[in-house]
Amino acid sequence: KLELTLALMKPHLVKNPIALQTIRNKIIASNFKIVRSGRKMLNQEDAEKFYEEHKGKFFYNRLLTSMLSGPLEIYVLAREEAIRYWRQLMGPTKVYKAQFDDPSSIRGEFGLSDTRNATHGSDSPESAIREIKILLPDFDFNKWNKDE
Ligand code: CMP
């Protein structure tokens, strides 16, 4: 059964075309179907909605600043267990841990700090839906898998 996840390339990564191509190749090699892709500049309101669960945390302001510092590259990915497989490709959230435990992961290779950790991935099917609705308000959850 196909599952959807939202994969985001964060602004500092979008400035690095070689990293973007490397990650795109990893996505394809991992048997994801790229359902949608595009670039978008977040606005303050969407960024706050997107990260509402982190409001009040010590890194919240720097997280918003970094997410608003340039365009994001957005992918909606599908495969079975898409959420788990994309998180596996990304590696641990914290860059020190990523570099130490899983240096060939995306965050191990391209993360700069715990905030600028290269990429984001949904952590559950419910968050995937919530996050896709914020970033791609016209995404049709009933149709994405029906045109083949
Ligand atoms: P992301 O997967 O986008 O989800 C929440 C983000 O908060 C996370 O990636 C990091 O960018 C940031 N974050 C999480 N934990 C920390 C931390 N301890 N210090 C700084 N930033 C963090």
CB atoms within 10 A of CB 40: 13
Q: Is residue 53 part of a domain?
A: yes
Q: Is the pTM here over 0.90, yes or no?
A: yes
Residue closest by Cα to atom 21 of ligand 1: 115
Q: What is the ipTM for the molecules in this complex?
A: 0.96
pLDDT one digit per residue (tens) for the chain, 148 residues? 999 999 999 999 999 999 999 999 999 999 999 999 999 999 999 999 999 999 999 999 999 999 999 999 999 999 999 999 999 999 999 999 999 999 999 999 999 999 999 999 999 999 999 999 999 999 999 999 875 5
Q: CATH number of the domain at 42, please.
A: 3.30.70.141
The annotation places the binding site at: 10, 59, 87, 93, 107, 117
How many domains does the structure of the chain reveal? 1
Whether ligand 1 lies within 6 angstroms of the CB of 66 is answered as no
Task: Provide the residue range defining the domain that includes 68.
Answer: 3-90+120-135
For residue 14, count other CB atoms closer than 10 A to its CB.
17
In short, whether 107's Cβ falls inside 6 Å of ligand 1 is no
Report yes or no on 76 lying in a domain: yes
- Is 146 domain-assigned? no
Q: Is 97 within a domain?
A: no
Residues marked active site are found at: 120
Q: Is 122 in the pocket of ligand 1 (CB under 6 A)?
A: no
In a domain, 145, yes or no: no
